[in-house]
Amino acid sequence: MSRQIEYRDALREAMSEEMRRDPRVFLMGEEVAEYNGAYKVSRGMLEEFGPQRVIDTPISETGFTGLAVGAAMMGLRPIIEFMSWSFSLVAADQILNNAPKMLYMSGGQFGCPIVFRGNNGAGGQLGSTHSWCVESLYANVPGLKMAIPFDPYDAKGLLKTAVRDDNPVFFLESERLLSVKGEVPEEEYLVPFQQALVRRPGADCTVVSFGRPLYFCLEAAQALAEDGIECEVIDGRTIRPLDIETIVQSVRKTNYCVVVDQSWPFASVGAEIAAQVHERCFDDLDNHVARVHADDVPPPYAYNLEQEMLPNARKICEAVRSVTYNA
């Protein structure tokens, strides 16, 4: 049975259900307990699970991330909340040099089943240093997994899968989506990794994206459909592992591809997907793979400039028209 709940509530349900199921799971981060979470994602969890499993930390990502690595090595399953993924940069040694490599470096003796989660990308006039899109920077490291949920259904299902995974999982949410409502079943379910989803079928051009930019892709697809261009919109869901097969299958049908990525363009996830599509679909493509990214500048503070810097429906429409010769 489904009901309409907010993205933030879907995240809380996922964490609470997994904490009830497995006593090794705990939540730790800044303001997650007494304040109910900076964005109210963990509202009520302190009352249910107590201060030993919902733990407020000092403003020290380096410290509590290192603690989580040690806890995971000893058999616990931490969920670490970064108030913003921008703040994770000060813990880069722990999350990139320790957690993803621990199983390999210990010869299989110590795993690191940690979920690192929090808000990624521009949240709305937060300035350059608080608006990082970290997927391109972090997805380069082997040994980790990365999920980017689009709606409340995936937010819950992917997070439950992440908590049960024996590898470190980077779970990239969006502050701009936390109040979005969507259908979420009351019964338990999981969304598996490496299983992309066709959000809108079409035969004229494949549009691939992850997370919040998918809303712009669907908006663009609706506008293009009014002009007779039917786009197939694919939600990749996870970057590591990447379901390239679903993307390839679509491109072989449509013969055109546009990748939409909120990261900067240089050495990006969008660039990687475009490269893989070119390698696998060279004879099927009728044009190069186009990419729509955030502009290659630090995110501005001014609202109008920030909106112009990010991917949007207009830019996606222009990219689709350019590759399908419908300019």
Task: Quote the pLDDT of residue 292.
Answer: 98
| Res. 26: pLDDT tops 60 | yes
- In this structure, the answer to whether residues 127 and 273 fall within a common structural domain is no
Task: Quote the pLDDT of residue 117.
Answer: 97
Task: Kindly state whether residue 31 falls inside one of the protein's structural domains.
Answer: yes
Q: Alpha-carbon distance 272 to 31, whole Å?
A: 36
What average pLDDT does this structure show over 215-221? 98
* Catalytic site includes residue 130: yes
Among candidate residues 140, 164, 185, the one where a domain is terminated:
185
Task: Kindly state whether residue 286 falls inside one of the protein's structural domains.
Answer: yes
Task: Kindly state whether residue 171 falls inside one of the protein's structural domains.
Answer: yes
What CATH number has the domain bearing residue 256?
Answer: 3.40.50.920
Backbone phi, psi, residue 68, to 5° = -65, -40
- In this structure, the answer to whether residues 247 and 144 fall within a common structural domain is no
What CATH number has the domain bearing residue 124?
Answer: 3.40.50.970
pLDDT band (50, 70, 90) for residue 129:
confident
| Res. 80: pLDDT tops 80 | yes
| Res. 327: pLDDT tops 60 | no
Task: Quote the pLDDT of residue 152.
Answer: 98
- In this structure, the answer to whether residues 206 and 301 fall within a common structural domain is yes
| Res. 12: pLDDT tops 90 | yes
- In this structure, the answer to whether residues 80 and 177 fall within a common structural domain is yes
Task: Kindly state whether residue 263 falls inside one of the protein's structural domains.
Answer: yes
| Res. 87: pLDDT tops 60 | yes
- The domain in which residue 244 lies consists of 197-323
Task: Given the residues 81, 130, 232, 293, select the one marked as catalytic.
Answer: 130
- In this structure, the answer to whether residues 180 and 289 fall within a common structural domain is no
**Residue 303: other Cβ atoms inside 10 A:** 10
What average pLDDT does this structure show over 110-119? 95
Task: With H, G, I as helix, E, B as strand and everything else as coil, classify residue 54.
Answer: strand
pLDDT band (50, 70, 90) for residue 123:
confident
Task: Quote the pLDDT of residue 326.
Answer: 73
- In this structure, the answer to whether residues 258 and 159 fall within a common structural domain is no
Among candidate residues 185, 205, 237, the one where a domain is terminated:
185
Query: Cα 244 to the chain's mean position, in Å?
Result: 16
Task: Given the residues 13, 61, 135, 232, select the one marked as catalytic.
Answer: 61
- In this structure, the answer to whether residues 178 and 315 fall within a common structural domain is no
Residues 160-212: tens digit of each pLDDT? 999 999 999 999 999 999 999 999 999 999 999 999 999 999 999 999 999 99
- In this structure, the answer to whether residues 178 and 98 fall within a common structural domain is yes
Residues 45-63: tens digit of each pLDDT? 999 999 999 999 999 999 9
**What six digits make up the tokens of 116?**
């690192």
Task: Kindly state whether residue 203 falls inside one of the protein's structural domains.
Answer: yes
Question: What total number of domains does the chain contain?
Answer: 2
CA distances from 224 to 202, 204, 219, 295 (A): 11, 10, 9, 23
- In this structure, the answer to whether residues 54 and 127 fall within a common structural domain is yes
Among candidate residues 154, 185, 216, the one where a domain is terminated:
185
Task: Kindly state whether residue 191 falls inside one of the protein's structural domains.
Answer: no
Task: Quote the pLDDT of residue 124.
Answer: 80
- In this structure, the answer to whether residues 146 and 39 fall within a common structural domain is yes
Task: Quote the pLDDT of residue 221.
Answer: 98
- In this structure, the answer to whether residues 133 and 203 fall within a common structural domain is no
DSSP 181-192: EEEEESS-----
- In this structure, the answer to whether residues 204 and 140 fall within a common structural domain is no
Instruction: Please answer whether residues 320 and 200 qualify as being in contact, where contact means their C-beta atoms are separated by less than 8 angstroms.
Output: no
